[in-house]
Structure 1
Amino acid sequence: MGLQGQEGLWVIEVFVVVFITLLANLIVRRMLNRVALKLEKTKNQWDDILVEASRQPVSMLIWVIGLSWAAMLVDMKSDTSILVAVEPVRDVAVIVLLSWFLIRLVKGGEQAVLEPERFKKPMDETTAHAIGKLLRASIIITTVLVILQSLGYSISGVLAFGGIGGIAVGFAAKDLLANFFGGLMIYLDRPFVVGDWVRSPDQEIEGTVEYIGWRQTRIRTFDKRPLYVPNATFANISVENPSRMKNRRIYEKVGLRYDDAAKVEPVINAVREMLQQHSEIDQRQTLIVNLNSFGASSLDFFIYTFTKTTDWVKFHHIKQDVMLKIMAIVEDHDAEFAFPTSTIHTPDLLNNDKASDLSPANLERFAEMDRVHPES
């Protein structure tokens, strides 16, 4: 009976180890909660990120240590060789948890640097995502190599195989690699960033950049459709970035009647003065209001100026205000806008006494003699 009690004692020991692990996990979690509450009152944001990143990995690490301890007790008290499998699993688990902690730390830092509430000068979203992706990729690659080393594999052999296999992979996945390097060039050259309005005259690409990945870029078109563009495409097309314009241009042509030829110059001077006094027109940029051409039925002058704003909606409000003021100026000068007109000149035959003879033959004759030309 005593022998059986001693043999069953290891079960109690295993139970105690599991209970201690559970208790330690509970204590550590409460300690981290209290530490997090105190650190929230400080101005330093990185300590909050550090605590938040360590919560789940630390909890899992306690369970890994506790369960491996329990497995060691089972191995010591029984004839099984469970420890042979437990040790490498424990080592791999610790490496993975450390990697998980670092990835969470990088992700938390990436989100933090984008929040103006945490930092006075938040980082550009595209730059933050690029740095975060590079750091996470480095952590994952390093983790895989360390795990292989801990399992007894030769790192030099793995790297040599990777060099040979990389050639084959390069040929098989050349499009994928082209997109990868295309994304890298976008991050380095920065022709656009997340939030920019871009368009390409070479292809039907226009919209707002939402996300820049390693393989493709997501653009939201103005009709709210998502457009996925492979990054390699941007190496072969021209890309316009209207978001980086400094001004928006107003370019309009206005036509007055030939009957108002004497009023053209006063109208042009009044329009120019109006634009020079307009609060939303950038006076540092080119401003032109001049008679431009003798049209078929109008005297045409053009307006060439730039607004201070680049906002699309506000620009159209300003443009509307300018055009309404031009209409008022034309009306104040008792002039009228021209529209396509034609003048029919009839022969003198219609004015003599025989004009009353409007027989079909005479009407046909008159039609042949008429000539129609624009008013001048």
Structure 2
Amino acid sequence: MENETITADVAEAVAFFSPENLMHYGQMAMPYVIKAIFALLILWIGFKIARWLGNVAQRNIIKAPNVDETLGKFLGSLVRYAVMAMVVIAAVSQVGVQVAGLVAILGAAGLAIGLALQGTLSNIAAGAMLMLFRPFNVGDFVRVAGEEGVVSEISIFTTEMTTVDNIQVIIGNGEVWGSTIQNLTSKGTRRVDNDFGIDYEDDINKAMKIITKTAAAHPKVHSEPAPWAKVVGLGDSSVNIQSRVWTDSADYWDVMFDLNKSVKEAFDKGGITIPYPISVELDSK
């Protein structure tokens, strides 16, 4: 009896995979396969068009009067995502889904989607706030959310920066807007502070004069406000003098590094010593 059951099952399977049945099922599935292929083509071509239109919109928006690169990139990304949304709807309708019904379903599920994607929606809202209040623009050097670098792009969802050592940093707009933003280039100039330690036996006034004279000779240091040097502390082994000079924001690091080197060389020529900690080992015997 068991053998007869197995034989019947095998015969049914063979009949199911007969050429006639396979051709029949293939003919039934062919319209759906064609629709799926067309839907994929719509997505592939549509996403390329969306990217192209976004770039075209960005270039043309930037050319408009009173529109900067930051706003151009942001509006360009809006165009790209809007076209992508229309492409997805067109692809879905291609496979037979009623667009009106789809919109109704999405509307009914809007609250659930909003709760699930509240982080993403907050990024969009924060992106709009960044565009409205403009705490920084593309090209500014900023410190935000524990990172610092040059802003390269502000999109709907994220802000991209490039650090001084050429690392790309991407931060959600919600985190950017919710944190303290320090724009280090918006004022055009910055103060450079350098600390120097001299020996207690050295002439303090002479050291301060060397510092201010060396700083004033630097081509990128501003004459107004004039370079400044004062004693800011008395350390364990040194008198600590701080130099303060002003320079263009773009020259901040060059001035800082140059003054460290040039002041040390000037100290050597002027007989000013920079002490270092000395440890003394005592023998208890």
- Is residue 2:170 matched to residue 1:259? no
| Greater relative contact order, per chain length (Cα 8 Å cut-off, separation 6+) | 2
The residue correspondences of 1:105-120 to structure 2 (distance < 5 A) are 107-114=55-62
The residue correspondences of 1:1-376 to structure 2 (distance < 5 A) are 107-114=55-62, 123-134=67-78, 164-200=108-144, 202-203=145-146, 205-260=147-202, 263-285=203-225, 287-306=227-246, 308-311=247-250, 314-341=251-278
* Whole-angstrom CA distance in 1 between matches of 2:176 and 2:217: 43
- Aligned residue type for 2:56: G
Label 1:182 to 1:109 Cα distance change in 2 as closer, same or farther (>3 A).
Answer: closer
1:344 Cα offset (Å): 10
Can you list the C-alpha shifts for 1:167-219, whole angstroms capped at 9, x where unaligned? Answer: 3433343233222212222222222333333333x54x333433333233333
Partner residue, 1:34: none
Label 1:224 to 1:275 Cα distance change in 2 as closer, same or farther (>3 A).
Answer: closer
* Whole-angstrom CA distance in 2 between matches of 1:289 and 1:240: 26
Rg bigger for which structure?
1
Label 1:280 to 1:109 Cα distance change in 2 as closer, same or farther (>3 A).
Answer: same
Q: Which has the higher helix share?
A: 1
Note the residue ranges of structure 2 that are not aligned, 5 or more in a row.
1-48
1:289 Cα offset (Å): 1.0
* Whole-angstrom CA distance in 2 between matches of 1:342 and 1:227: 43
- Aligned residue type for 1:334: G
Q: How many pairs were matched up? A: 231
Q: Normalized against structure 2, the TM-score is what?
A: 0.60
Label 1:297 to 1:112 Cα distance change in 2 as closer, same or farther (>3 A).
Answer: same
Q: Normalized against structure 1, the TM-score is what?
A: 0.48
1:124 Cα offset (Å): 1.9
Residue 230 of structure 2 contacts residue 241 of structure 2 at CA under 8 Å; is this kept in 1? yes
Partner residue, 1:40: none
Q: How well do the aligned residues superpose, as a CA RMSD in angstroms?
A: 4.4
Residue 158 of structure 2 contacts residue 173 of structure 2 at CA under 8 Å; is this kept in 1? yes
Can you list the C-alpha shifts for 1:17-66, whole angstroms capped at 9, x where unaligned? Answer: xxxxxxxxxxxxxxxxxxxxxxxxxxxxxxxxxxxxxxxxxxxxxxxxxx
1:229 Cα offset (Å): 2.5
Aligned sequence identity (%): 21
Partner residue, 1:33: none
Partner residue, 1:15: none
* Whole-angstrom CA distance in 2 between matches of 1:158 and 1:216: 29
Label 1:162 to 1:300 Cα distance change in 2 as closer, same or farther (>3 A).
Answer: closer
* Whole-angstrom CA distance in 2 between matches of 1:325 and 1:224: 27
- Aligned residue type for 2:235: G
1:319 Cα offset (Å): 3.2
